[in-house]
Amino acid sequence: MSATFTDHQAALRDEVKKLLTDGSIKGFIGYARGRDSYHPVPAIVTRPDQVDGLILDQFSIFGLTKYLLDYIFEDGKMGIVVKGCDALGLGRLINDHRVDRNKVHVVGLPCAGVLNGEKVAKLGLGKVQRVTDKGSAFLVEGDKGSKELPKTEYLWDKCLWCENHNPAGADTLLGSEVENVAMKPRDFSDITALEKMPSAERAAFWTRQFSRCIRCYACRNVCPACNCRECVFDIADPRWVGNTVKLSEQQMFHFTRAFHVAGRCVDCGECERVCPMEIPLMKLQRKLQKDVIELFGNPKPFVPSEVEVLGQFRVTEDPEEFM
Amino acid sequence: MLLTITADNLKSLLDKLARDSLLVAPVLEDGVTRLKPVKAASEIALDYSNTATSIKDFLFPQSEDLLRFVTDGTLSIEEIKPERAQVAFGIRPCDLASVALMDKVLTTGEYADTHYQARRKNTVLIGLACESPADTCFCTSYGYNPGHSAGADVMLYKDGDQYLAEALSDKGREVVGGPGEGLFKPADEAAGQAVKKAYAEKEVPFGKEVDVEGIDQLLDNFFDDQYWDDVSKKCLGCGTCTYVCPTCHCFLLTDEARGGEGLRFRCWDSCMFANYTKMAGGHNPRPSKKERVRQRFMHKLNYYPHRYHSYLCTGCGRCVAMCPVGLHIAGVIKDVKGVKAHA
């Protein structure tokens, strides 16, 4: 029976108001209400009068850390609220030397799982009045109905196998730490099934997925591991990768991106969640995670560490004879 | 004259159209309904509020070859003309309305876009009135409605287990009298008009929340408002809004040459991209998200209306549903009215 995110909303607003007023931060990256109760959106506030627009609720899934890149060339600190999974994204940006930890005030949000707004919105509960943590379920009370939603069915998939419920190294923690146990083991069965598919069938599966891509780059733009100073896909001269919309270019884009974040992906799942064409991008990432786990013996490639699996070269251990 | 067609006869008609020309229709694939070329009526999905992508994909494709050139001492140019006839089925009223807005930009004035013009000429639009508008739809805010048929060559309205039909252009009458011969029956005029009226008056709940009245004028003196600074901070800089929008029409031209032979093609571009207005030499007059976000909404709600006397938005709601950060036109309209009301 943990506190819900909403229980911390008042404390968050107080904290942000204090930080903005005393000048410790010049802006804060948090959440605001979206088009309904189920789709909170990012909000970046810079003045104390905007702070009451900040919300926290159990649908606050968006990983906000990528916004920090908008402020790296400015003086002063930015504040940001991070869940456990978001802290991994922040770790990615810090380890990649893109964000200076000293320029961020991290407000940590212990998390017992985030409700999947897409799923819950379909239940017709109306405007959400209250969410209560009942242990294995969240009770969602709306103005048109209430329902107890089992966590195993209504949380985002990544929350089920999450082992990072508490954001590490926060400057301020909202409430107290929650129990840090995965609800079920990390599950690669869908990836194994894809691996076992005859290659023609697997090619057909991915062809269908990538042919939907509209090259909006939402996946890249939200990804904390996609943090290059200039992305190869944005360089017009020379144009390394074509910008026409055809399958080969779409595949080139997604394969390049997947390989570039291999071993660096923090498993936040944001690429797949923001994709307007619902391309299952995490299947690519999770295949690479599985490979890194199996081939390099790193059980947690999604946790940024000092030594990255694919970011090192040990000549004496390299099995490649040619080298 | 109002007609009716049974669901089975409509399937026969669509099968014929798919055989004789390129038929584009809504297809459900991996949970996403979008317009796609189909080979048979059986592939078509009919249970959708609107398609994820719009008819724009087929009148103004995301990438399009324009001309081939050879430079072996002299220059020879061969224009690539889109000549294939296509029929688009299941086009919703908002998208029909969007075609009229695109026409103004691409076919009127001093220069016409010959490729767009050719595709328009070779395309038959079969509209389908909306039975259940999505909770992101707000076409009524702009004066359109779930039965709005302007722009359709043939308009269909589901009526129980059959469809009310109306041919609205010569192209539409050719479909009804040609491949459709024997498949349509005359409708009872009064009953048919009642069906049309019911669609025209169908409720669009979100439309009631979005009041666009006078927004073009409110934006006249809004260019330098702090609002653009505040609202643009959350923009992700992706192209989702512009690419799913049925009325965004910016593109970039590229020449690709190898040896003495080359191809000129165009691709959609997005004013949300950082390099959209980047000049040769590196200067960018829209250096931050503030200028880019402002441009998109000023274009739709102020610049275009000043020039063409209508908004460059039909309330299809795609940006409302798909913008990853909820920075959509309905929200901006509400916000600007709020800021102005408190000013």
In this structure, the answer to whether residues A115 and A14 fall within a common structural domain is yes
Q: Is residue A53 part of a domain?
A: yes
A35 Cα to chain B: minimum distance (Å): 7
- Phi-psi label, residue B76: left if phi above 0, alpha if psi -120 to 50, beta otherwise: beta
The pLDDT tens digits for B27-83 are: 999 999 999 999 999 999 999 999 999 999 999 999 999 999 998 889 999 999 988
- Answer with the one of A113, A146, A173 that is the final residue of a domain: A173
What's the pLDDT at A313?
74
Q: Which residues pair with B68 in a beta bridge?
A: B78, B263
Mind giving me the DSSP string for A23-43? Answer: TS-SEEEEEE--SSTT--EEE
B199 Rama sector, left if φ>0, alpha if ψ -120 to 50, beta otherwise: alpha
Chain A residues whose CB is inside 8 A of the B328 CB are 35
Whether a cis peptide bond, with omega within 30° of 0, leads into A238 is: yes
Chain A nearest CA to B242, separation (Å): 9
A30 and A163 inside one domain: yes
Per-residue pLDDT tens, chain A, 323 aa: give them. 678 999 999 999 999 999 999 999 999 999 999 999 999 999 999 999 999 999 999 999 999 999 999 999 999 999 999 999 999 999 999 999 999 999 999 999 999 999 999 999 999 999 999 999 999 999 999 999 999 999 999 999 999 999 999 998 899 999 999 999 899 999 999 999 999 999 999 999 999 999 999 999 999 999 999 999 999 998 877 777 777 888 999 999 999 999 999 989 999 999 999 999 999 999 999 999 999 999 988 888 899 887 788 877 777 777 777 65
Q: Is A276 helix (H, G, I), strand (E, B) or coil?
A: coil
Beta strands B2-6; B162-167: pairing state: antiparallel
Helix, strand or coil for residue A138? Answer: strand
A43 and A202 Cβ atoms separated by less than 8 Å: no
Picking from A139, A173, A207, the residue at the C-terminal end of a domain is A173
A318, part of any domain: no
Q: Which residue type is seen at A54?
A: L
**Cβ-defined contact of B52 to A276 (cutoff 8 Å):** yes
Same domain, A286 and A240: yes
Nearest CA in chain A to B29: A208
How many interface pairs between A and B have CB atoms less than 8 angstroms apart?
98
Same domain (yes/no): A150, A270 = no
Contacts of B62 in chain A (CB under 8 A): 214-215, 245
Q: Which of B240, B267, B326 sits opposite A244 (nearest CB)?
A: B267
On the CB side of B50, CA atoms within 13 Å amount to 29
- pLDDT value for B343: 67
Q: Which residues of A, range 60-119, sit inside 8 Å of B by Cβ?
A: 62, 67, 70
- In three state form, how does the secondary structure of B260-309 look? CEEEEEEEECCCCCCCCCCCCCCCCCCCCHHHHHHHHHHHHHHHHHHHHC
Average pLDDT of chain B to the nearest whole number: 95
Rg (chain B; Cα; Å): 22
A194 membership: H or E segment, kind and range: helix A189-196
Q: Is A323 domain-assigned?
A: no
Please check whether residues A167 and A195 belong to one and the same domain. Answer: no
Distance CA A82, CA A84 (A): 7
Distance from CA of residue A49 to its chain's centroid?
A: 29
- Could you tell me if A96 and A120 lie in one domain? yes
Cβ pair B52, B26 in contact under 8 A: no
Distance CA A85, CA A287 (A): 19
| Co-location of A110 and A160 in the same domain | yes
On whether both A90 and A227 belong to a single domain, the answer is no
* Contact flag A221-B237 (C-beta cutoff 8 Å): yes
Give the integer Cα–Cα distance in Å for B229 and B227: 5
* Judgement on whether residues A226 and A79 belong to the same structural domain of the protein: no
Range of the domain at A30: 5-173
Confirm if A78 and A71 have CB atoms less than 8 A apart.
yes
Mutate to test the interface with B, among A217, A220, A239, A241 (most CBs of B within 10 A): A217
- A234 near B CB under 8 A: yes
Asked which of A173, A205, A238 is the last residue of a domain, the reply is: A173
In this structure, are A149 and A277 located in the same domain? no
A186: which residues sit within 8 A by CB, 6+ positions away?
A161
Q: Touching check for A278 and chain B: CB below 8 Å?
A: yes
Judgement on whether residues A255 and A292 belong to the same structural domain of the protein: yes
Give the pLDDT score at B8.
97
In a domain, A102, yes or no: yes
Whether chain B has a CB inside 8 Å of the CB on A124: the answer is: no
Residue B132 pLDDT class (50, 70, 90 cuts): very high
Pairing of strands B154-159, A128-133: unpaired
Pair (A201, A59) in one structural domain: no
Chain A nearest C-alpha distance from B28 (Å): 12
Confidence of residue B339 (pLDDT cuts 50, 70, 90): confident
Name which of B235, B243, B251, B270 to mutate to probe chain A: the one with the most chain A Cβ atoms within 10 A of its Cβ: B243
Distance in angstroms (rounded) separating the CA atoms of residues B84 and B105? 23
Is residue A197 situated within a structural domain? yes
What pLDDT is stored for residue B5 in this prediction?
Answer: 97
Give domain status of residue A225, yes or no. Answer: yes
Q: Which residues have a Cβ under 8 Å from the Cβ of A32 and sit 6 or more positions away? A: A40, A41, A42, A43, A53, A54, A55
CA distance readout (Å), A9 to A4, A126, A267:
9, 21, 26
- Count of structural domains within chain A: 2
Spell out which residues of chain A touch residue B331, defining contact as CB-CB under 8 Å.
Answer: 35
CB–CB contact A218 B240 (8 Å): yes
Asked if the C-beta of A246 comes within 8 angstroms of chain B's C-beta atoms, the answer is yes
| B311, B304 contact by CB (below 8 A) | yes
What are the CA-CA distances from residue A304 to residues A71, A89, A225, A263, B330 (Å)?
Answer: 22, 8, 10, 9, 39
What per-residue confidence (pLDDT) applies to B66? 95
- How many residues can be counted in chain A? 323
- Residue B265 is predicted with a pLDDT of 94
| CB < 8 Å to A215, chain B | 62, 239, 243
Q: Secondary structure of B300-342 in the HEC alphabet?
A: HHHHHHHHHCCCCCCCCCHHHHHCCCCCCHHHHHHHHHHHHHH
Q: Hey, are the CB atoms on B324 and A218 less than 8 Å from each other? A: yes
Cβ–Cβ < 8 Å for A57, A32: no
- A273: closest chain B residue by CA: B324
Contacts of residue B260, Cβ cutoff 8 Å, sequence gap at least 6: B70, B71, B72
User: Contact A50/B230, CB-based, under 8 Å?
Assistant: yes
Does residue A122 fall inside a structural domain?
yes
**Confidence check on the interface: ipTM exceeds 0.90, yes or no:** yes
**Interface mutation target, options B28, B30, B256, B316, chain A, most CBs of A under 10 Å:** B30
Task: Check if the beta carbon of residue A145 is closer than 8 Å to that of residue A37.
Answer: no
Q: Which of B94-108, B125-139, B273-287 has the lowest mean pLDDT?
A: B273-287
Which pLDDT belongs to residue B140?
98
Residue type, B141: S
* pLDDT at B83 (0 to 100): 83
Q: A84, A162 in Cβ contact below 8 A?
A: yes
DSSP line for A282-304: HHHHHHHHHHHHHHH--S-TTS-
Backbone Cα Rg of chain A:
21
Q: Is A178 part of any domain?
A: no
Q: How far apart are CA A257 and CA A260, in angstroms?
A: 5
